[in-house]
Amino acid sequence: MAGTGSFAGRVALVTGGGAGMGRAAAVAFAREGARVVVADVDMAGGDETVRLIAAEGSEALFVRTDVADAGAVEAMVHAAETAYGRLDCAFNNAGINEEHGPLTDCTEAQWDRILGVNLKGTWLCMKYEIPLMARSGGGAIVNNASVVGLVGSRGTPAYVASKHGILGLTKAAALDHAKEGIRVNAVCPGAIYTPMYVRREGADPEHDARIAAGIPLGRLGQPEDVARAVQWLCAGESSFVTGEHIVVDGGETV
């Protein structure tokens, strides 16, 4: 499959590529011919994504990366350049959500960890991706926010703040780097069935059915639903779109 498809000749980098939406996006980019850099803190998950891509005859590289660590992010982008010589697309997707209580219960350590991975991590990724993209002649970045980047949600203040911040950062980056031919957009997923969703909601089909019943399109989202929006935002079809976000939530926030 390598060498054909709408992303043939391009290099895509996906953070948090070892599970969930990141894995779905990495596989989708590879199916369309991109060479993919899979970055994650979880080696087993990252290796498995690379194995899935290789099993389909495409090319991928795993780089163990904590996106909250500036040195690791710089090394991730350096590894992409060393392996593939360029960077055309990036899905800055790695994120965590570990709070389950009101703002007054959120500890300083939780706040720092969540903002560190979700918001600082997104900034660090763009900081190091953008110069390589510019040297590659331009590119497209998609940051993974959330519907709680747009509206509030109880019991998760640091996460909500981090996701609102990602949308602001997306607009700032889009303006700062438009002249270099770099577009920066975001996706805002709703309830998407991934390991993070299962950790948050539990593995209970009856609970899932109640959540699905509250979603206008009548089902939970799948990682591939988000991967398709990410691909569109990285493709030539969206070449006049920057600083925007696409909500992928089955109508939940409508």
* Residues labelled as active-site residues: 159
Short-list 33, 58, 35, 60, CA closest to 46: 60
User: Considering the rule CB under 6 A, would residue 238 count as an interface residue with ligand NAD?
Assistant: no
Task: Return the ∠ at Cα 4 (arms to 180 and 22), rounded to 5°.
Answer: 65
Shortest distance, position 18 Cβ to ligand NAD, whole Å: 4
Residues 60-99, one symbol each (x = binds ligand NAD by CB under 6 A, - = not), give -----xxxx------------------------xxxxx--
Among 79, 174, 192, 234, binds ligand NAD (CB under 6 A): 192
Among 15, 58, 156, 231, binds ligand NAD (CB under 6 A): 15
Alpha-carbon distance of 94 to 68, in angstroms, equals 10
Shortest distance, position 131 Cβ to ligand NAD, whole Å: 20
| Integer CA distances (angstroms), 38 to 9, 35, 98, 166, in order | 17, 10, 23, 21
User: Considering the rule CB under 6 A, would residue 189 count as an interface residue with ligand NAD?
Assistant: yes
DSSP 116: I
Query: Please, are residues 229 and 249 in contact by the beta-carbon 8 Å criterion?
Result: no
Nearer to ligand NAD, 22 or 33 (CB): 22
Alpha-carbon distance of 197 to 90, in angstroms, equals 23
Among residue numbers 129 through 158, which ones bind ligand NAD (CB under 6 A)? 144, 146
Query: Please, are residues 198 and 156 in contact by the beta-carbon 8 Å criterion?
Result: no
The footprint of ligand NAD (CB under 6 A) covers 15-16, 18-22, 40-42, 45, 65-68, 93-97, 117, 121, 144, 146, 189, 191-192, 194-197
